[in-house]
Structure formats: C-alpha cells, structure tokens
Structure 1
Amino acid sequence: MKKLLFSLFILTACFRLSAQQEHQYTQFMYNKPYYNPAYSGARGVPSITGIFRSQWIGFDGAPQSGLLSFNSPFLTPRVGIGAVMSMKKIGLNRDFNASLAYSYELIKLENVSARAGIQVSIRSLSTAFDDATPVNIGDPSLDNQQVNSIFGNVGAGLYATFMERYYVGLSVPRIYRNSIGLSNANATLIAKESPHFYATAGGIFPLSDDINLMPAVLLKYVQHAPMDADINVNLDIRQKVTAGISYRVGGNGAGESVDLLVMWQASPQIGIGAAYDFSLSDVKDYNSGSIELLFQADLKKQNGKKKNGVFSPRFFL
C-alpha cells in the first residue's frame, strides 16, 4: 500500500512533467524576460518585474507562483543582461527556477532592431510528503519523506522590434532534456524535462491621439502536448491606463480561460497590473478563478520620443 501511494504520487508528478511544465502567467506581454533571454536590455533602461499568481482560487492544493526579474543594458546599449527567479507550489510539489541571461543586438537600423540571447539556469523540484495529512495517522511511509532533484540547463532566443510599433520573438528557455530522478526508499521513477518552445508577437495600432490598440499573442509548444496559445487585445488610454481581454486556448473544447487585464501607469517609471482569469476547463465548477498581480518599474528614466506618429507604451515593447 505504501509503495502504491508513493508510485501514484510520482506518476502524477511525471504527468505534469510530460505536459506544459513551465509557469503560466496571464500578463505575458509585460513578462518577456521570463520567456525569452534575448529581451534582456531591449528596453534600454534597467527594469524590474514582480508577479504573484494564485490559480484556481478555492481549489485545495491549487498552483501558486511568484516571479522576480531584472534586465538592463550592460556597458553598451547593444549588450543586455538579465536575471529571473521564480517559484511555483502545487500541493506538496515545489518548483524553483533561477536563470542568468545575456543578449546582444545583432541588427540596429533606423526602424529595425534584432537581438539574440542565451541563458543558463538551475532548477529544483521537490515534494514534501511530511506536509501531507495521511488517511492513516502515523503512517511511517510519509514520515519526513522528501523527494528532491536539482539540475541545470541552457536556453536561447531571438527578439526583434520594427518601427517601435511591432515585436516578434522566438525562444527555448531550456534546451536540454534533463532526466529527473524522483525516488525514496519505496520507489524510483525517472521523468524527463521537456524543451518548451515559445513564439510571441504584438503591435501598437493608434486609433486616435489618445487611444492605442495593442494586440499580443503567445504560442506555447512542448512535445507530446497540444499547442497552447494566449490571445490578447488591450487598449492603451492616454498612456495612463491599459485594459483588455485574453483567451487562453487549452483545456477542453471551450478553451482554458477568459482573462481580464488592467495596467495602471502610476508614474512615468512605475506600472501596476492585475488580471483575473475565468476558468472554462473541466475545473471551472471547483474554483473561483485565478488572480495575478504585477509590479514593474524602470530604475532609470527612459527617453520618451515619438516615432512614426506613435508613442510606444512604456511596458509593452
């Protein structure tokens, strides 16, 4: 019985590893350093981003995640550096990631900028069975049981902007297929860390002097799992408030969620954002949605300028 319980738990973890493994964020358009190392330094000023996400509110053991990132030009505007730390908790499982990124601007023209980036990362996966509440109190198979695995990886990406209105990006944050050993005295199982492929695109379309339409899309693919996509449309109003809606492909035939987003430009250097996801998948009847909070700041003033008749909203490109 003890071996069966442990095996079932590990198989559940393995299932998670074989599907979409990376953390999920609704405000992806403001969180590019997490997905693409080539974005580091692209904004031209040192910037920090913090995110907290509580998924499936009211669902026992539901995912909670947090992220802190920094990116900046380094020595020259064509070189960028970045760092990302993230943590996710699902039930008894913990997933910690830390990465360092380097980017270089390969193309610098009047209306085109293209960067390439690489990153190195370390990841820790663990399961704390000692936090569980067993059916049989005093079950020795769960006493002080810890399952841990630590491993490194490398990633790469490309990021380009056009006319300071449009952007596209391609990235693979973790290229190497690590073998993840999960074991204790009762059982051993080897899972695989799968490479995740990301494609991003977005643009700024002025509707008037005060309103910009800002669509964005994030495509996510991992082998042996269906392709997921976040499709977003935002309206930027007077470069002060941005509000919009997203649809997340996935889950059942109806999709995974419909999301509402808002970003307030508290000052020329500070943005505060929030998002709320309405679940559409099979878990919709068992939770009260998901909430995500974001804080973003430039540590140095950015040169505000118009180009081709449009001001680039500060945290979008």
Structure 2
Amino acid sequence: MKALKFSEIKPLLIFSLLVWLSFGAKGQQDAQFTQYMNNGLFYNPAFAGKEAGYNFSALHRSQWLNYTGTNGPAPITQLLTASARLDDYNIGFGLTFVNDNIGPTNSQEVNLSTAYHKTLGRGVLSIGASGGIFSSTLKYDEWVVVNPDPRIPSAGRETRMNFNFGLGAIYDRGKYYVGFGSRHINEPGFDFGDGAIDNQLMNHSYLLAGYRIRTFALWTFEPSFLIKSVSFNNFSYDISVIATHNQRISGGLAYRGEESVSLLFGYGILRDNSLRLGYAFDLVFGGLEAKSPTSHEFMLTYNLQPVSREFQKAIQRTPRFRF
C-alpha cells in the first residue's frame, strides 16, 4: 500500500482534533442519522448533483425502539432525497423531504437545493443553497404539562409553517473530502397556543469529512466524521469506518459521542450495484434512563446513470454528391 503524504492527510488531522474538543449537545432539533455518510444532501445543499446521474434514496429510522415515555413514543423519522446534475452547466439540483415524529410533536420539511460544481486544482469545489417550507405540529392531547396554561388547549392539534433556508460548500479532492453545511439559517419561529409557546428552530451547522483508502483485493476503506453544532454553542460528533469489497458488500462501525456504538451493513442488489440496501444498528449506552437500548435504520438507494447514445453518420451516395 502506498504511503500517504502529510500534505494529503493534514486537512483531516486538523478537523479530527475538533472532534475530540467537542462535547455532547443539548437542544438538537434536527433528526439524526447513523448512515450520515450516505445522506450528505440532508446536511449540505452542495451535495445536490455532486455525483453523476440521477440519485434517489429512502430512509426509515426507528430510534430507541419500544420506548414509551410520559410525552409519547420514541422518535421515528423518514427521509427521502433525489438529486440530478446538468453536466453541460456543472449545476446540480436536489429535493429533500423529512418527516420527524418525536412524542407529541411532528415536523415535516421540503427543501429544494441547487449547487454549482467547479474544478479547482486537482479537486472539485461545490457551493450550494437550499430553500423550502418547514411545518411544525403540536399534538395537545399527547402532551403532558406540569403547570397548565389556560392559553394552551388540552386536546386537538395545531400546525405552524414557515420558510427555511440553508447554505453549504464541499471540496472533494478524490482521496478526501471536506464539507460544511448550515441549515435553518433564518431560524424560523412557530408560535403555539396564542403565543404561549414560542418554538424557534435554531440554526444547525455540520462539518462532514471523509478519506477514501483503496487497497489490494478490491477492498476500500472510508473513515469519516460528522461534527454537529446548534447555533455554534453546543457540539456533538459521529465517527465511522466503512469497509467495502468490490463496490458491492460493505460493513462498518460507528460511534456517536457519549450515546451509542453502531454496526452498519450495505449490499448492492443489482449487477451494476445501482440499487443498494443499507442497515444500521445502534446500541445505546448513554442516558438509558430516558431511552431504550437499541435503534434501527433502513436505507434504500438507487443510482440511474444517464444514457449516452452515439450516432454514426451514414454515408449517402447520389449521382452528384458524396458525403
């Protein structure tokens, strides 16, 4: 195996130090995913059209399975993404839909993303922006309140909607990539119960980086990490290592700071590996007094490569012309 130069690994070393300096987050409002390395578009709009072809993914996460608390069941999340790229213009487009249920609350968001991809040095710099609608619903009949407020109904549900914006950038060098994305930049607010509950969606930022290592016998390894921040006041992190054989079968380990360890599996179903199944199992060890010990995540991805057709000009002969 070829030795790596320090200049090639220096960017990841710097960012890795940030991982160990970070600490557990409180007040995380965004959904969390163990297979974050395969869902870049959720964290960063610059991933829109980053890969060639048409890319689709569907994910279902059951967090803290079978947990039932005072304020309802455990979180359940669905994520749908789609992206495409216009190669002639180096522009990509993406669509993201999230449905997140946590106890008596339900949030849904739809975001459209666009990104521009520019060759820079030996890598590609991608810059993207996103905009959409965020919907927040509060189910009063499932909410247990210690000190009731007469302005807050005891039954029914209430929904508030607002605009939502994000920005991001990625630099992909081939062997490694580093990206930074920021969601809910405008920090939209949602007032429930005649203003009795002021629920503001805080700005969430993500630093995602990974390194691709190709070895003998068709094996590749990709260590990566994700640093999450809420308004740059609280931080948490995920670290993972994925091994893949012949671009078909993959497995790995992941660690979420002070919360869980995870096993990840992936398998390419079709001959060209365009359709893939992914699964992640989380074993929770932190905060078990308010959680169940396991979480499960299922993912299906499909990559449709563009069809290129080459037409050969036929030779036509006439009595006067030949071309």
- The answer to whether TM tops 0.5 is yes
Q: Which amino acid aligns with 2:211?
A: G
| Shift, 1:206, TM fit | 1.9
Task: Report whether the alignment pairs 1:279 with 2:290.
Answer: no
Match in the other structure for 1:36: 44
| Shift, 1:189, TM fit | 2.2
Task: Report whether the alignment pairs 1:90 with 2:81.
Answer: no
Match in the other structure for 1:205: 213
What is the CA–CA distance in structure 1 between the aligned matches of 2:39 and 2:259, rounded to whole Å? Answer: 20
What is the CA–CA distance in structure 1 between the aligned matches of 2:189 and 2:129, rounded to whole Å? Answer: 22
| Shift, 1:285, TM fit | 7.9
What per-residue deviation string (whole Å, max 9, x for no partner) do you get for residues 18-72 of structure 1?
Answer: 8111110000010011111001111011100100000001101100000110011
| Residue in structure 1 matching 2:196, options 181, 188, 204 | 188
Aligned residues: CA RMSD? 2.6
Q: Which amino acid aligns with 2:85?
A: P
| Shift, 1:192, TM fit | 2.1
In structure 1, list runs of 5 or more residues that go unmatched.
1-17, 135-140, 250-254, 304-317
| Residue in structure 1 matching 2:230, options 222, 229, 247 | 222
Match in the other structure for 1:262: 265
- SS of the residue aligned with 2:30? coil
What per-residue deviation string (whole Å, max 9, x for no partner) do you get for residues 67-118 of structure 1?
Answer: 1100110363510000000101112210101100010013355x31111000
- SS of the residue aligned with 2:132? strand
Q: Indicate if the aligned counterparts of 2:52 and 2:305 stay in contact, CA closer than 8 A.
A: no
| Deviating more after overlay: 32-41 vs 18-27 | 18-27
Task: Report whether the alignment pairs 1:79 with 2:91.
Answer: yes
Q: Which amino acid aligns with 1:34?
A: F
| Deviating more after overlay: 121-130 vs 57-66 | 121-130
Length-normalised TM-score, structure 2: 0.78
- SS of the residue aligned with 1:76? coil
> Matched residues, percent identical?
24
Q: Indicate if the aligned counterparts of 1:37 and 1:173 stay in contact, CA closer than 8 A.
A: no
What per-residue deviation string (whole Å, max 9, x for no partner) do you get for residues 257-280 of structure 1?
Answer: 101101112222111100000001
What is the CA–CA distance in structure 1 between the aligned matches of 2:280 and 2:307, rounded to whole Å? Answer: 26
Q: Indicate if the aligned counterparts of 1:181 and 1:188 stay in contact, CA closer than 8 A.
A: yes
* Pair 1:284–1:291, CA change in 2 (3 A): farther
What is the CA–CA distance in structure 2 between the aligned matches of 1:81 and 1:63, rounded to whole Å? Answer: 29
What is the CA–CA distance in structure 1 between the aligned matches of 2:31 and 2:307, rounded to whole Å? Answer: 30
| Shift, 1:155, TM fit | 0.9
| Residue in structure 2 matching 1:68, options 80, 83, 91 | 80
Task: Report whether the alignment pairs 1:232 with 2:237.
Answer: no
| Residue in structure 2 matching 1:175, options 181, 185, 208 | 185
Q: Indicate if the aligned counterparts of 2:285 and 2:293 stay in contact, CA closer than 8 A.
A: no
* Pair 1:33–1:58, CA change in 2 (3 A): same
- SS of the residue aligned with 2:42? helix
What is the CA–CA distance in structure 2 between the aligned matches of 1:284 and 1:263, rounded to whole Å? Answer: 31
- SS of the residue aligned with 1:38? helix
Match in the other structure for 2:16: none
Q: Indicate if the aligned counterparts of 1:53 and 1:290 stay in contact, CA closer than 8 A.
A: yes
* Pair 1:302–1:262, CA change in 2 (3 A): farther
| Shift, 1:286, TM fit | 4.9
Q: Which amino acid aligns with 2:184?
A: R
Match in the other structure for 2:126: 115
Bigger Cα Rg: 2
Task: Report whether the alignment pairs 1:52 with 2:60.
Answer: yes
- SS of the residue aligned with 1:227? strand
* Pair 1:276–1:225, CA change in 2 (3 A): farther
In structure 2, list runs of 5 or more residues that go unmatched.
1-25, 146-151, 309-323
What is the CA–CA distance in structure 2 between the aligned matches of 1:144 and 1:152, rounded to whole Å? Answer: 27
What is the CA–CA distance in structure 2 between the aligned matches of 1:146 and 1:285, rounded to whole Å? Answer: 25
| Shift, 1:126, TM fit | 0.6
Q: Indicate if the aligned counterparts of 2:252 and 2:265 stay in contact, CA closer than 8 A.
A: yes
What per-residue deviation string (whole Å, max 9, x for no partner) do you get for residues 256-311 of structure 1?
Answer: 110110111222211110000000111268514000000000122699xxxxxxxx
Match in the other structure for 1:7: none
| Shift, 1:224, TM fit | 7.1
